[in-house]
A and B are shown apart, each in its own frame.
Chain A
């Protein structure tokens, strides 16, 4: 159920450089409906963008058009439970990677270029290793693991646990099926997101809230499934993913944020260096936080296009 926007809210849905997808469609991933967004010429070389945990494809609304206008078909999707995709009964790493392959299958233009942010960078790494013939180049945006457990990867790369963490998680599970987010104003959503993105303008955050949020009769809510909860736990070790990095068989550009943030992975470049495959390049960007492509879409698009031009 949605409610009509006020004139101020309608104005917030416009932001300089932001462009909603040129095409939107749905893919069924084993019965789960995933929302797919596309920008640019449908016959151009394809790029698949993977967003991070607790994010949504609309966060590419400035970044993706920059790539599309440079001559690419840019495709992204909302991961299960995120954005406009269906909320699932279960969430897991394997589920996300399989969903990603379902989206890739629907593009019918592989091998393609993969760009993944944060957790999206990590599931992209897994996908390339499992299906190397489907990808020809990879850009990882602050999604290279280190020794610190990434905060947006629930139930996966966490090992340390405490009794209260475990019982808290189980208590959350008990209520997770019936949870409803509390309603807020559009401005309230933007200001909450600002805690994760301290360097973004409120104008940009309000725009993002109009896409990742929904206006119900009683107020605004983020669309993400309330059953999802950051900071789960599980047997996975970030170092396993890092060791695997060395095996990546495609040209790789890694971008690392250097500003420490609540959702940041804080991976130092010198920690990554020993695990780089031959020819790979990793850049640590000064003055940028974890959400590199949201914070500096122009700069990241330029880096990506330079990297892709070198391959051609």
Chain B
């Protein structure tokens, strides 16, 4: 088990550092939670796409959020731990995001690609703590499609070292995302969150799972600006 990058522990507690990093424990893994902006009120939690990492600075299109902004590096990405021998699932990544959510108590989620799918899962699993999930375009939005493809055994070459973990890229680009599995999570979020619409769809790409939830009560197709404004006022 390796850490994605060496981090200078002296910087972790520095409140003036625009990219403060905290280490959070998820089962046997250490995850990097970045603070992109301090502030008062409910945090915005960024979940990056497949093979990405938390951006170095707060993306301009999210600057309108009134509260603090954090970004989580998923397992095998950015500055989070690289496990040995793969074993990635979106459910494990939901556990990653839940670890950050526990730390923050409550959050509005903004997910890109893979992170958008994980945001949907967590919105269904923690409907009281997730105050809105904003799904955006990004890498890994489609996953492996609605049904499994021809069975393969992927042997990525791990010799390059570092993040993103090649096993994460191989396994999380093939994970199956059936539309009726995704709608289970949306329905739970819709029934249990008490929000008018717990999920905002701000994507041009429309894989099957996303098309299925976009037509359900509880999901609203809207712009990023509108979604941020709405959840800030919730």
Instruction: Determine, out of B9-17, B65-73, B78-86, the stretch whose residues face the partner at the interface.
Output: B78-86
Residue in B85, B150, B175 whose CB lies within 8 Å of A99:
B85
B229 within 8 A of A: no
Report the Cα distance A263→B157, complex, angstroms.
37
Interface size on B, residues (CB 8 A): 46
Report the Cα distance A130→B148, complex, angstroms.
13
Report the Cα distance A102→B152, complex, angstroms.
14
Residue in B27, B99, B184 whose CB lies within 8 Å of A89:
B27
A204 within 8 A of B: no
A–B Cβ pairs within 8 angstroms, 6 of them: A29-B85, A89-B28, A90-B92, A92-B92, A95-B86, A177-B29
Q: Hey, what's the 0/1 contact readout for B162-194 against A, CB within 8 Å counting as 1?
A: 000001000100111110010010001000100
Instruction: Determine, out of A159-167, A193-201, A277-285, the stretch whose residues face the partner at the interface.
Output: A159-167
Interface residues of A in 131-177 (CB under 8 A from B): 131, 155, 159, 161, 163, 166-167, 169-170, 173-174, 176-177
Residues of chain A within 8 A of B95, CB atoms compared: 170, 173
Cross-chain contact A31 with B84 (CB below 8 angstroms): yes
Report the Cα distance A232→B89, complex, angstroms.
12
Cross-chain contact B28 with A173 (CB below 8 angstroms): no
Q: Hey, what's the 0/1 contact readout for B191-213 against A, CB within 8 Å counting as 1?
A: 01000000000000000000000
Q: Which residue of A lies closest to B143 (CB)?
A: A235
Give chain A nearest CB distance to B178 CB in angstroms. 5
Report the Cα distance A155→B124, complex, angstroms.
17
Residues of B bordering A, CB below 8 Å: 1, 25-29, 75, 81, 83-89, 91-92, 94-95, 98-99, 102, 124-127, 147-148, 150-155, 158, 167, 171, 174-178, 181, 184, 188, 192
Report the Cα distance A163→B191, complex, angstroms.
10
Report the Cα distance A80→B192, complex, angstroms.
37
Residues of chain B within 8 A of A155, CB atoms compared: 89, 91
By secondary structure, the B interface counts as: loop
Q: Tally the A-B contacts, defined by beta carbons under 8 Å.
A: 123
A90 and B75 in contact (CB under 8 A), knowing A170-B94, A170-B126, A173-B26? yes
Cross-chain contact B153 with A131 (CB below 8 angstroms): yes
Report the Cα distance A163→B28, complex, angstroms.
24
Residues of A bordering B, CB below 8 Å: 29-32, 80, 87-92, 94-95, 97-99, 101, 126-127, 129-131, 155, 159, 161, 163, 166-167, 169-170, 173-174, 176-177, 227, 232-237, 240, 244
Residues of chain A within 8 A of B150, CB atoms compared: 129
Report the Cα distance A232→B81, complex, angstroms.
23
Residues of chain A within 8 A of B29, CB atoms compared: 89, 177
Cross-chain contact A30 with B84 (CB below 8 angstroms): yes
Give chain B nearest CB distance to A87 CB in angstroms. 8
Query: Max chain A CB contacts within 10 Å: which of B86, B98, B125, B174?
Result: B86
Give chain A nearest CB distance to B152 CB in angstroms. 5
